[in-house]
Amino acid sequence: IPFLRILITHLNYNHLPKSIFKEKGTIVVLFQNPKDTAVSIFHFHNNGTQSVPSYSSRDEFFSGFMKDLWGSCFDPAVTWNKHIEDKNTMVIIYEDLKGNLTASVKQIAAFFVFSPTAEQVQVTEGRHTFQPVSVKAQEPHGAVGLILFHKGVFGVWKNVFAEAQNQKLATKFTVCLEVAKLGVKFKYDVYCKA
């Protein structure tokens, strides 16, 4: 197909169609720090949707989360870490995106070999912040669109998990990602320490 197509997915690297790599697709991968990812998963499970199980407490959820009952949130990061230097792949960290949206928009545009004007960058920023995207999510996803977005801020984990739980997540991060290139991009000391 001769025109640009954009596909959005939660699929991990190993589950993407191989044609993406054969056809030289360009891939932007977005990660959120692991602690806030856990909070997002907790809220998604406890949103009242019957298609996913809910949990009576944060402790019950955390126990399942640490046992990787739904797959580990660290697995995609470990897998993508192997491809972080692939020419057709760009990894972005949500906290960096939120922290400097203008720089992030320009960085993504440069990756796609676009040269947006200052006005185009400003329009993109206005349309793609948390509020307009979360409101628009109901169009393609129906009622589920309302629960795909929680707060759009980072650091929420500080108000959710107990100190012992935070320490267990920190230990798992150290085991899985501390020395990985992607682990460094997470800026764990900045975004995941109380």
Catalytic residue positions, numbered: 10
The Cα angle at residue 132 between residues 127 and 136, in degrees rounded to 5? 110
> Whose CA is closest to 45, among 130, 138, 148, 134?
148
> How buried is 150 (Cβ within 10 angstroms: 0-12 exposed, 13-18 middle, 19+ buried)?
middle
CB-CB neighbours of 49 under 10 Å: 14
What is the Cα–Cα distance from 28 to 47, expressed in whole angstroms?
Answer: 28
> Whose CA is closest to 10, among 98, 75, 65, 107?
75
Q: List the beta bridge partners of residue 90.
A: 28
Sign for the CA dihedral angle at 103, 108, 114, 119 comes to: negative
Q: Long-range contacts for 164-171 (Cβ within 8 Å, ≥24 apart)?
A: 165/62, 166/35, 166/194, 168/66, 169/34, 169/35, 169/38, 169/66
